[in-house]
Amino acid sequence: MYKPGKFQLMFLRWRKRQRDSRVTPLVLSALVGVTVGLAAILIKTIISYVEEYAIRFFPGILYFIIPMIGLVLVVFLNRNIFYKTVNFRGTSHVMEAIKNNGAIINFRLMYSKFITTGLSIGFGGSSGVEAAIITTGSAIGSNTGQFLGLGYKQRTLMIGCGIAGGISAVYNAPVGGFLFALETVLPAFTPTLLIPLLISAVFGKVLFEVFMGDQLRFEAPIPDFTYDQLPFVLALGIAGMLAARFLHKTYRFCYRYLSRIKNDYLRAVTGGLILGTVIFLFPPMYGEGYISINALLRANESEVFSNSIFSNIPHTHVTDLVFFFLLTLAKPLSTGLSVNSGGEGGYFAPSIITGGFLGYFFYKVIFLYAPGADMVVSPVTYIYLGMAATFACVMNAPVTAIFLIADITQSYELFVPLMFVCATSYFLKYTTESKGSKSGIRKIDRGLLQTEGMVLNNVSAYELVERNVADVRPDDTLRKLSELSATTNRDVIPVNSEEGRFEGIVKLNDIRKRLYDAAQYDSVLVRDLCQAPEETVSLQESASSVLEKFDRVNSWYLPVVQDDRFIGFVSRMKVLARYRTELNKGNRFF
């Protein structure tokens, strides 16, 4: 029998003394926010020190081998120390843990990812810290819940708090972190989520800013936006969607070819040397890339060109245009090489940087080919709008994109164009993916299934099974089956042997013509009509898993089988009814 530990007993006694049950998650959300804030400080510190000493130790022409060294180090750590957590990366795996693993996340993920990500980016890996902070924050939230003996729903809330606090800290964007957690990890929104997530986001941001300052915030004066620029904003939204598609295709391209190299170290060396060459040609590709965006915001193009072979080429409007177009293409390539060669990191920051370069390139195009428009168009405005448009499509989070960019750039006066550019880019992404999808479910709808999965993850098939179902034997005739079909409202009948072993099912829709042919009633046996079900369900299986099976087989009833014995049926309608009941509970997390 499980016995709670000393600290768990202390927590349970304290919790029991609280008159208001809502106090506990508020206190825990603050604790998670502070802890994740400390983790964010560690990640940034590791990146800063590694980058400083790596560049100092490998000057000049040796600069291009730095990424390879970082990738080899990360591969070594992942193969020999962090091998149990190497395959856990970012938001998708957090969602999977919530949905399929009871919101249980490995303890080692509280520290492993920010070490490997710090080394990867510090040595020049062109990715972002958000995958590490999302993983670390979710692990901190989950393990806090596990240590204190919290249930599934409370652990899920703590995971959301960890992610909100982490994004808020590393991006100095409390609203963006709060919304990202809601939009991607906890899409089953209820008002009870607001306060804990906000508290965690605030604590993470404040702690990080006290120790590290405003490291990431882009600050540049924004001229007044006029509505005659809306056609340009529309065009930039289209360009942002195309840039996001290029990002995805480039990542897949790098994965496809680098994965052919089976030896991890050889893959790291190969990818690292190619990445080093890209960085040698385009120094802004080193690390996260925020320095170059800030240089463009200060109208300091020469800083972006510095140390590049392009700095020796005579500067004209056309050559500058080509250079910034190549920068926009180089960022997805360098990120794909970094992540798929063994490095760690996410696509959060690369989408922002790619969008920033895209926005500046778009401004240069307007400057050259739209005479007079440059009088009302600002590069700062289009850098920010390009960030938002690309981020919205890459991360499938348009609402987060609007508030995150407004948050980290302090550009709230651009709210209307931010909304317009994100709506344009994400709508185009949605429509193009819907038309190109070959499956019955569009990609945009899969988030809905994830929401249902999280709501139903705490419900088992045992609670939904319909028992006492009339069955038939393999040796029964079609007459018996016909009589039974007249008394049931289901389109499927179970077949069990005399010993009670489950043999299969008979689908009435498949034998409808035989039922109307009385001449076959005594000559056709059930065993001739019986077939194996496409899917079966166990009593312990979660309702979210059952819902996925319903979607795969396109059926209204699935048999519940335990130890080769038929227990009953689970109906799709009953699962969906239970989903609505769970979703409408106003106090789901508290």
What CATH number is attached to the domain comprising 506? 3.10.580.10
**Burial of 196 by CB count in 10 Å (0-12 exposed, 13-18 middle, 19+ buried)?**
buried
Which band of pLDDT confidence, cut at 50, 70 and 90, is reported for residue 223?
confident
Between residues 457 and 349, the one the model is more confident about: 349
Both ends of the chain: CA-CA distance in Å?
27
Between residues 305 and 489, the one the model is more confident about: 305
Whether 304 contacts 296, CB under 8 Å: yes
Question: Which range is least confidently modeled, 58-67, 197-206, 394-403, 431-440?
Answer: 431-440
Mean of the pLDDT values across residues 389-413? 87
Give 96's Cβ-side CA count (13 Å radius).
Answer: 9
* Residue 376 clears pLDDT 80, i.e. is over it: no
Residue 3: per-residue pLDDT: 54
In this structure, are 146 and 256 located in the same domain? no
In this structure, are 509 and 465 located in the same domain? yes
Distance CA 495, CA 475 (A): 10
Cβ neighbors of 90 (< 8 A, separation 6 or more) are 130, 131, 134, 135, 346
Residue 185: per-residue pLDDT: 74
Q: Is residue 219 part of a domain?
A: no
Distance CA 589, CA 475 (A): 52
The widest CA-to-CA distance across the chain, in whole angstroms, is: 93
Tell me the backbone φ, ψ of residue 343, rounded to 5 degrees: -80, 170
Question: Which range is least confidently modeled, 82-91, 92-101, 259-268?
Answer: 92-101
Residue 21: per-residue pLDDT: 57
Whether 273 contacts 65, CB under 8 Å: yes
pTM (two decimals) = 0.73
Which band of pLDDT confidence, cut at 50, 70 and 90, is reported for residue 548?
confident
Residue 200: per-residue pLDDT: 92
* Residue 263 clears pLDDT 80, i.e. is over it: yes
Closest CA to 451 of 190, 73, 126: 190
Residue 210: per-residue pLDDT: 84
In this structure, are 41 and 170 located in the same domain? yes
In this structure, are 465 and 446 located in the same domain? no
In this structure, are 371 and 243 located in the same domain? yes
Residue 578: per-residue pLDDT: 75
Q: Is residue 470 part of a domain?
A: yes
User: Which own/partner contact pairs does 360-367 have at CB distance under 8 Å and 24+ positions apart?
Assistant: 360/296, 360/324, 360/386, 361/321, 361/324, 361/325, 361/327, 361/328, 362/232, 362/235, 362/236, 362/239, 362/386, 364/317, 364/320, 364/321, 364/324, 365/321, 366/232, 367/317
Between residues 224 and 331, the one the model is more confident about: 331
Range from 119-128, 176-185, 245-254, 425-434 that averages highest in pLDDT: 245-254
520: Cα separation from own chain's centroid: 56
* Sign of the Cα pseudo-torsion (350, 353, 358, 359, in order): positive
SS3 (DSSP) at 304:
helix
Tell me the backbone φ, ψ of residue 489, rounded to 5 degrees: -100, 5
Q: Is residue 344 part of a domain?
A: yes
> Among the three residues 452, 482, 506, which one is the final residue of a domain in this structure?
452
Distance CA 235, CA 233 (A): 5
Strands 492-496 vs 502-507: parallel, antiparallel or unpaired: antiparallel
Q: Is residue 243 part of a domain?
A: yes
Percent of the chain with pLDDT over 70: 85
Give the domain CATH number at 438. 1.10.3080.10
Residue 60: per-residue pLDDT: 61
Whether 353 contacts 126, CB under 8 Å: no
Q: Is residue 433 part of a domain?
A: yes
* Residue 36 clears pLDDT 70, i.e. is over it: yes
What 8-state DSSP symbol labels residue 554?
Answer: T
Closest CA to 42 of 122, 106, 96: 122
Task: Name the domain count of the chain.
Answer: 3
In this structure, are 371 and 233 located in the same domain? yes
526: Cα separation from own chain's centroid: 48
What 8-state DSSP symbol labels residue 128?
Answer: B
Cβ neighbors of 9 (< 8 A, separation 6 or more) are none
Cα–Cα separations (whole angstroms), residue 433 to 288, 335, 439 = 29, 23, 11
Q: Is residue 217 part of a domain?
A: no
Mean of the pLDDT values across residues 504-509? 84
Distance CA 384, CA 28 (A): 35
Tell me the backbone φ, ψ of residue 216, rounded to 5 degrees: -105, -20
Distance CA 462, CA 539 (A): 5
Between residues 57 and 547, the one the model is more confident about: 547
Which band of pLDDT confidence, cut at 50, 70 and 90, is reported for residue 94?
confident
> Among the three residues 430, 452, 474, which one is the final residue of a domain in this structure?
452
Distance CA 236, CA 222 (A): 18
* Residue 86 clears pLDDT 80, i.e. is over it: yes
Q: Is residue 245 part of a domain?
A: yes
Which residues span the domain enclosing 538?
459-583
In this structure, are 246 and 306 located in the same domain? yes
Which band of pLDDT confidence, cut at 50, 70 and 90, is reported for residue 222?
confident
Amino acid at 279: I
Strands 557-562 vs 492-496: parallel, antiparallel or unpaired: unpaired
Which band of pLDDT confidence, cut at 50, 70 and 90, is reported for residue 445?
very low
In this structure, are 414 and 330 located in the same domain? yes
Cα–Cα separations (whole angstroms), residue 368 to 228, 235, 302 = 18, 16, 19
Residue 236: per-residue pLDDT: 93
* Residue 487 clears pLDDT 80, i.e. is over it: no
* Residue 404 clears pLDDT 80, i.e. is over it: yes
Question: Which range is least confidently modeled, 25-29, 122-126, 376-380?
Answer: 376-380
Mean of the pLDDT values across residues 249-272? 90
Distance CA 133, CA 345 (A): 10
Q: Is residue 589 part of a domain?
A: no
Closest CA to 349 of 251, 482, 216, 257: 216
Residue 124: per-residue pLDDT: 85
Cβ neighbors of 407 (< 8 A, separation 6 or more) are 171, 172, 173, 174, 175, 176
SS3 (DSSP) at 196:
helix
Which band of pLDDT confidence, cut at 50, 70 and 90, is reported for residue 362?
very high
Question: Which range is least confidently modeled, 269-283, 396-410, 433-447, 526-540?
Answer: 433-447
In this structure, are 389 and 508 located in the same domain? no
Which band of pLDDT confidence, cut at 50, 70 and 90, is reported for residue 471?
confident
Quickly count: other Cβ atoms within 10 Å of residue 291's Cβ.
13
* Residue 122 clears pLDDT 90, i.e. is over it: no
In this structure, are 193 and 245 located in the same domain? no
Q: Which helix (H) or strand (E) holds 399?
A: helix 398-409
In this structure, are 448 and 494 located in the same domain? no
Between residues 153 and 426, the one the model is more confident about: 426
In this structure, are 179 and 325 located in the same domain? no
Quickly count: other Cβ atoms within 10 Å of residue 510's Cβ.
12
Q: What is the mean pLDDT of the chain?
A: 82
